[in-house]
Amino acid sequence: MDEGKDHILLGTQPFYDLDIITRPPTLIPRWETEEWTSRLVDLLRPDWTQHQPKRRRILDVCTGTGCIALALAAHLPNDSTEIVGLDISTQAIQLANDNLKSHEQLLEETGNKVRFQLEDIYQPHVEQHFFRDAPLDLVVSNPPYVTHTEYASLDPDVKQWEDRQALVADLQGTQLHRRLIQLVSHWKRSYGRQVASDLPTLVMEIGGAHQVPVLQQELDHHGFNNVKVWKDLAGKDRVVLAT
């Protein structure tokens, strides 16, 4: 997430090859997120093209505008994927649904399905409903990861237009990542994915190298393996992936 001044509040923001509608207070999609989303498609595509037993199910937690969910649905193999995007913010879910509508025809052509739902991932029923009662293959997320101290020095434009809840998290910005690790590890232990694979089960955007050691420790503790970190184009640690 780029906290700098170089994004302008336009009506739409290009993301991959999609035009994502933006509206305050929902976070404007950033180039770093776009970059790793496209890299993830490149990683998944060959395997998902080759093995198509049934639709894969992806959860996009903290979906905001819905940019990640929509880009994945537009670019993963046809008829391969069903994506549910969750967010705690009513405005974000409304906006994500507007974005879904504006890409309806494109998605129809791919046969991939997307829907958005208002949810706080700390609510106990979320685990039951999304991580137990329904099949799952992959969880992706760009959760809030700015620390309270970092927030104080953010550009005033960002603070004025973007929801604090979309940016800031406790525990040095790793609180939501930890919740996701916990949810996905419970799911892996009890159910596991439909198709055996070394591909990641959890993909999370992070704020930089300072968050890696604590997340690595948390992932190890919860039995994840194959933990990797992707850097962004600026050379900053940007994504943690784990199987």
Ligand X SMILES: C[S@@+](CC[C@H](N)C(=O)[O-])C[C@H]1O[C@@H](n2cnc3c(N)ncnc32)[C@H](O)[C@@H]1O
Query: Distance between CA atoms of 99 and 103, rounded to whole angstroms?
Result: 6
Our CB check for ligand X shows the closer of 140 and 199 to be 140
* Residue 209 DSSP code: G
Our CB check for ligand X shows the closer of 78 and 122 to be 122
Our CB check for ligand X shows the closer of 26 and 185 to be 26
In DSSP terms, 25 is beta-bridged to: none
Minimum CB–partner distance for residue 160 and ligand X (Å): 16
Contact map string, positions 50 to 89, toward ligand X, x by CB under 6 A: ------------xxxx-xx-----------------xxxx
Amino acid 58 reads I
Our CB check for ligand X shows the closer of 165 and 216 to be 165
Supply 132's token pair.
């137990």
Residue from the set 21, 27, 44, 240 that interacts with ligand X by CB under 6 A: 27
By DSSP bridging, strand 228-231 and strand 113-118 are: unpaired
Applying CB under 6 A, the span of 76-84, 115-123, 131-139, 230-238 interacting with ligand X comes to 115-123
Minimum CB–partner distance for residue 30 and ligand X (Å): 7
Our finding on whether 144 is near ligand X (CB under 6 A) is yes
Minimum CB–partner distance for residue 213 and ligand X (Å): 22
Q: Which residues contact residue 88 at a Cβ distance below 8 angstroms, ignoring those fewer than 6 apart?
A: 62, 118, 119, 120, 121, 165
Query: How big is the site for ligand X, counted in residues (CB under 6 A)?
Result: 25
Minimum CB–partner distance for residue 111 and ligand X (Å): 23
Query: Distance between CA atoms of 15 and 71, rounded to whole angstroms?
Result: 8
Supply 115's token pair.
């829907």
Our CB check for ligand X shows the closer of 88 and 195 to be 88
Contact 104, 125 (CB under 8 A): no
Instruction: Map tokens 């905001």 to a residue.
Output: 64
Our CB check for ligand X shows the closer of 118 and 152 to be 118
Helices 67-75 + 31-50 axis angle, to 10: 30
Contact map string, positions 170 to 209, toward ligand X, x by CB under 6 A: ----------------------------------------
Residue from the set 38, 52, 165, 197 that interacts with ligand X by CB under 6 A: 165
Q: How many helices (H) and strands (E) does the chain have?
A: 11, 9
Our finding on whether 154 is near ligand X (CB under 6 A) is no
CA distances from 37 to 31, 53, 117, 122 (A): 10, 23, 21, 25
Contacting residues toward ligand X, per CB under 6 A: 1, 26-27, 29, 33, 62-65, 67-68, 86-89, 92, 120-122, 142-144, 163, 165-166
